[in-house]
Amino acid sequence: CQPATSATDKPAYVLVVTGTDPYLPAFLSINEAMRAEVARRSPRSVTWLHESTDSARFGLPAPMLAELLARKYQGVPIEAVVLATEPAIEFYLAHRALLWPHAPAFFHSIGPDFARKLPADAGLAGVPIDLDAAGSIRIALALQPQARKLLVINGQSLFDRTRWEQLRPALAEFA
């Protein structure tokens, strides 16, 4: 005779979808803090699952990725979806009916302008990040008072272009 299992004996499955390289130091730190906080607060164990669309480097993924993930997670009771970056949210919104339509979804690492433009019925919760580019430049200049030039290196992905648009007004202050 086996003992009955309660709901707290079964792990909660949480899927984290990133739109960029999930091994970037910032994302590793966020992931570690998120796991620690959930472990501290949840009476259940959590099985963390991770997927990356890698859209920040390669553009939006083909619908085949959504079909692959639907097959991969068929029968897995995803209880929450965490979306990191704008490309992950775009992927989720485009394919949520196929993938995890009933799981609550949360976001992090998106800009406030992007968050404001989310559809009212998106059903997402989260806190956008507001990067203080001007403040960061002021700190850099205070640490390097002899500096006369600032070099900005940026990529060409949607993520990079979005960050560039956030940075440009701050740069004008120092021109």
Whole-number pLDDT of residue 7? 56
Question: Per-residue pLDDT tens for 112-135?
Answer: 888 999 998 888 999 898 888 889
The predicted model gives 15-42 an average pLDDT of 92
The predicted model gives 73-87 an average pLDDT of 94
Instruction: Tell me the whole-structure pTM to 2 decimals.
Output: 0.80
Q: Alpha helices, DSSP H only, in the chain?
A: 25-41, 55-58, 63-72, 86-95, 112-116, 133-143, 158-172
Whole-number pLDDT of residue 118? 94
Whole-number pLDDT of residue 95? 93
Whole-number pLDDT of residue 158? 67
Taking the C-alpha atoms of residue 165 and residue 11, their distance in angstroms, rounded to an integer, is: 41
